[in-house]
Amino acid sequence: MTDDVLVVHGGTPLQGQIRVRGAKNLVSKAMVAALLGDSPSRLYDVPRIRDVEVVRGLLELHGVRVTDGDEDGELVFDPANVESASTDEINVHAGSSRIPILFCGPLLHRLGHAFIPDLGGCHIGPRPIDFHMQALREFGAVVEKRPEGLHLTAPNGLHGTKFSLPYPSVGATEQVLLTAVMADGVTELRNAAVEPEIIDLICVLQKMGAIIKVHTDRVIEIQGVPKLGGYRHRPIPDRIEAASWAAAALATRGGVEVLGAQQADMMTFLNVFRSVGGAYEVTDARPPRLGSAGQEGGIRFWHPGGELKSVALETDVHPGFMTDWQQPLVVALTQAQGLSIVHETVYEQRLGYTEALNSMGANIQVYRDCLGGTPCRFGRRNFKHSAVIAGPSKLHAADLVIPDLRAGFSHLIAALAAEGTSRVYGVDLINRGYEDFEAKLASLGAHVERP
Ligand code: EPZ
């Protein structure tokens, strides 16, 4: 077994204040967008997480000079010398992240060809890339599958197109945006994803000179332009990390103030948090004025005492309840009175982590049926994608192995909420998406140590 292990002495409520920086799922895409500019871009509030390192490495391989800016968390990208990288060099990053797939459009625009290694990312289902490839072909790309990865060319250039996604995929919407902004003509994307991270990517592209209209009913229209400049952008804060700490506060019967968390992007989460019996208070940011210091905004989440209440929830695309909020919250639901239902409709295999919670004393059953909500695309396909959580259950310590990023954080919360000493193996995976999580845990009073 790996020596990458965290020893967690559970049973202490988390108390205190932490800060979240730019959203992982925007920052990594904004970094790719920098490839499209003809002048440097500056991104602020970039968290120190593994996914950022992977994208930085890939950009550098393609000739983008990446340097630290003056502010803590500021990165500067200079795309003046974009160049081809060798397949071997790129393949070093194979299996480490999903982001390389988004290099397709920008590299086709800048170099006329692209090579994409085998993708990684969390193992939460088959995670196909068929929508991405279909969209790129619509633009005129020629995609060749080779044993070492995908080779793409655009012998006749990239041209605007009308395309409808079979499902509002976040990544495929980003693929279309990053390709259409410099394609020849107008692109109309139907059934697009409209997550706040996508709207923020649109803001980045607009700052670069793109013309993008977001219509009602998930329709996005992009008018291609021949060139784009650099951008300066402060990303939206990480609403997944914010919700993870909120769930940790609830599950450990503590209170955590998440500086940087924004109410508007978390409305659906906040409604569920309150329905479960959690309490929160939003502090709006206040800019400094003459004679008075400014105030950083955030949300304080806490367990107000008494019993938590069971809920029925369904994960969905925005504005629904995010699939990435599900795993941390389920740990808190093990402490709620009665039967809670979670219907996972975004990924077909995102409930495997519940076995580990059961090994700690939770009572969670998973089902192939679409429970508690409308039928989804997984109901007829034999995937265990609904969970019934019976509570409250007293959690006890266990040895846990982290399977993926969000499930990993939920294991960590469960260990913190449980009585006794747990060993959590593979915790390094959490660094993919949670900046300084060990330091944050320590500042919240958690008793954790590396053996
Ligand atoms: C993004 O993944 C996020 N990752 C995920 O966060 C997040 O869970 C997901 O969006 C949904 O919000 C990043 O932004 C890096 P999708 P993405 O394409 O873009 C199916 C985390 O922990 N699909 O919206 O890969 C797919 O299988 C990660 O931060 C196809 O069938 O997700 C899934 O069922 C985990 N064919 C659904 O669409 C395709 O070509 C939604 O996936 C593409 C997707």
The full DSSP string for 320-362 is SB-HHHHHHHHHHHTTEEEEEEEE--S-TT--TTHHHHHHTT-
E strands within 191-304? 211-214, 220-223, 232-233, 255-259, 279-283, 298-302
Residue 389 tokens read as 């959580």
Mean pLDDT of 127-132: 88
Cβ of 342 less than 6 Å from ligand 1: no
| Of 130, 170, 402, best ligand 1 pocket probe by most atoms within 8 Å of the beta carbon | 170
Torsion of CA 388, 303, 402, 167, to 10 degrees: 60
Cβ of 77 less than 6 Å from ligand 1: no
Looking at the CA of residue 125, tell me the nearest atom of ligand 1: 27
| 346 labelled ligand-binding | yes
Q: Whose CA is nearest to atom 41 of ligand 1?
A: 169
C-alpha to C-alpha distances, 169 to 135, 193, 358, 370, nearest whole angstrom: 12, 6, 31, 20
| 98 labelled ligand-binding | yes
Lowest mean pLDDT among 29-38, 86-95, 136-145: 86-95
Burial string for 383-421 (b: 16+ CB within 10 Å, else e) reads bbbbbbbbbbbebebbebebbbbbbbbbbbbbbbbbeeb
Give burial (CB, 10 Å; 0-12/13-18/19+) of 292: exposed
pLDDT over threshold 90, residue 154 = yes
Cβ of 52 less than 6 Å from ligand 1: no
Mean pLDDT of 46-50: 96
pLDDT tens-digit map of 254-269: 999 999 999 999 999 9
Cβ of 97 less than 6 Å from ligand 1: no
| Of 24, 25, 103, best ligand 1 pocket probe by most atoms within 8 Å of the beta carbon | 25
Q: Whose CA is nearest to atom 25 of ligand 1?
A: 171
pLDDT over threshold 60, residue 142 = yes
Spatial contact of 319 and 368, defined as CB atoms under 8 Å apart: no
Cβ of 127 less than 6 Å from ligand 1: yes
Looking at the CA of residue 404, tell me the nearest atom of ligand 1: 22
Looking at the CA of residue 324, tell me the nearest atom of ligand 1: 8
Q: Taking all residues of the chain, what is their mean pLDDT, rounded to a whole number? A: 94
pLDDT over threshold 80, residue 304 = yes
Q: What is the pTM of this model?
A: 0.96
pLDDT tens-digit map of 378-418: 887 889 999 999 999 999 999 999 999 999 999 999 999 99
Nearest to 19 by CA among 439, 448, 449: 439
Q: Whose CA is nearest to atom 18 of ligand 1?
A: 169
Residue 335 tokens read as 């402490």
pLDDT tens-digit map of 186-236: 999 999 999 999 999 999 999 999 999 999 999 999 999 999 999 999 999
Residue 122 pLDDT? 56
For the chain, the distance separating the N- and C-terminal CA atoms, rounded to the nearest angstrom, is 14
Looking at the CA of residue 346, tell me the nearest atom of ligand 1: 34
Identity (one letter) of the amino acid at 339? L
Residue 37 pLDDT? 98
Nearest to 25 by CA among 322, 363, 283, 411: 322
* Percent share of the chain, pLDDT over 70: 97
Strands 312-314 and 142-146: unpaired
Cα 255 to middle of ligand 1, angstroms = 31
| 130 labelled ligand-binding | no
Q: How many CB atoms lie within 10 A of CB 232?
A: 14
Cβ of 324 less than 6 Å from ligand 1: yes
Q: How many CB atoms lie within 10 A of CB 95?
A: 11
| Of 98, 169, 437, best ligand 1 pocket probe by most atoms within 8 Å of the beta carbon | 169
Mean pLDDT of 36-44: 98
- The strand order across the sheet containing 162-164 reads 162-164, 186-190, 220-223, 211-214
Peptide bond into 117 cis (omega under 30): no
Catalytic residues: 122
